[in-house]
């Protein structure tokens, strides 16, 4: 007999825990948004850690540790993409233990000749329950985006079993690079009841946040609720695994 298990997956660019309304750096606003949606697994972008040197900058603190406490999601991992005043990158929060977790750097472009902000990026890869999870935040320059998509395609093709890819891709759905991912994975936007935007969270203009699933996963629901916490709306999907 088949048994079924459901998971609520959430992707959220937290803008380094900056409250988009008050502009204060605090874990409370992002935590409230997460708690409102009650996810099982959360992929986070723009996460900061403890500063390397003493500073009065309030944006540098152990953000993933604070969010883990405030959301009662005890298992967490911080994947560092770049070191600024402190470590900066992506993270995962989970109800369930993380296995085989690692940070995979996205190669920087050899030539940086575009009129765009360049920043080293990364992918978190881990196993949670029967799921394989990828969390990423792709760059603004076209060359950065191409490098990220090429690496993601390689990883997806090597991964067996139920797979989730989520994050801020900095690309709109009409971008040809997004189409390359959609050739490999299911875009959960397909189950939206109406077209939804994700950025910015006040007067949103575009959709640049995504959750993709492998085709052996049943997507029951997906939504971008209009919760104003960071500059991005959170994005969630409810999935079912047959086993």
Residue 108 DSSP symbol: P
Rounded to whole angstroms, the Cα distance separating 203 from 212 reads 25
Cα separations in angstroms, 120 against 26, 33, 51:
25, 27, 18
Report pLDDT for 242: 72
Residues above pLDDT 70, as percent of the chain? 98
Residue 63 confidence (pLDDT): 98
How confident is the model at residue 1, as a pLDDT? Answer: 38
Please report the DSSP string for 59-70 in residue order: T-S-HHHHHHHH
Angle at 185 between CA 181 and CA 189, to 5 degrees: 90
pLDDT at position 235 is 98
Cβ within 8 Å of residue 64, ≥6 positions away: 44, 47, 49, 76, 77, 78, 91, 93
For residue 174, give both structure tokens. 């009409």
pLDDT digits (tens, 9 = 90+) for 22-79: 999 999 999 999 999 999 999 999 999 999 999 999 999 999 999 999 999 999 999 9
Structure tokens at 16: 């380094």
Spans of the chain, pLDDT less than 70:
1-4, 243
Q: Is 37 exposed, middle or buried (0-12, 13-18, 19+ CB in 10 A)?
A: middle
According to DSSP, the β-strands at 163-168 and 131-137 are: parallel
Tell me if residue 143 falls in helix, strand or coil: helix
pLDDT at 243: 65
Q: Which residues of 10-19 are buried (b: 16+ CB within 10 A; e: fewer)?
A: bbbbbbbbbb
Q: Is the pTM value of this prediction over 0.85?
A: yes
């Amino acid at each position: 007999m088949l048994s079924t298990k459901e998971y609520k997956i959430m992707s959220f660019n937290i803008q380094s825990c900056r409250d988009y309304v008050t502009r204060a750096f605090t874990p409370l606003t992002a935590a409230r948004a997460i708690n409102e949606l009650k996810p099982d697994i959360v992929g986070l972008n723009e996460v900061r850690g403890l500063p390397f040197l003493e500073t009065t900058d309030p944006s540098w603190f152990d953000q993933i540790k604070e969010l883990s406490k405030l959301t009662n999601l005890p298992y967490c991992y911080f994947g560092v993409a770049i070191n600024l005043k402190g470590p900066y990158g992506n993270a995962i929060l989970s109800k369930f233990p993380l296995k085989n977790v690692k940070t995979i750097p996205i190669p920087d472009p050899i030539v940086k000749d575009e009129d765009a902000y360049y920043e080293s990026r990364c992918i978190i890869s881990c196993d949670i329950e029967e799921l394989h999870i990828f969390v990423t935040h792709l760059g603004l320059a076209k060359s950065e985006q191409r490098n990220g998509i090429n690496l993601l395609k390689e990883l997806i093709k090597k991964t067996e079993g139920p797979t989730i890819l989520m994050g801020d891709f900095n690309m709109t759905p009409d971008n040809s690079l997004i189409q390359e991912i959609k050739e490999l994975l299911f875009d959960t936007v397909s189950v939206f009841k109406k077209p939804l935007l994700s950025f910015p969270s006040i007067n949103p203009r575009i959709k640049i946040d995504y959750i993709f699933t492998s085709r052996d996963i049943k997507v029951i629901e997906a939504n971008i609720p209009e919760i104003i916490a960071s500059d991005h709306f959170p994005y969630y999907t409810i999935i079912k695994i047959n086993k």
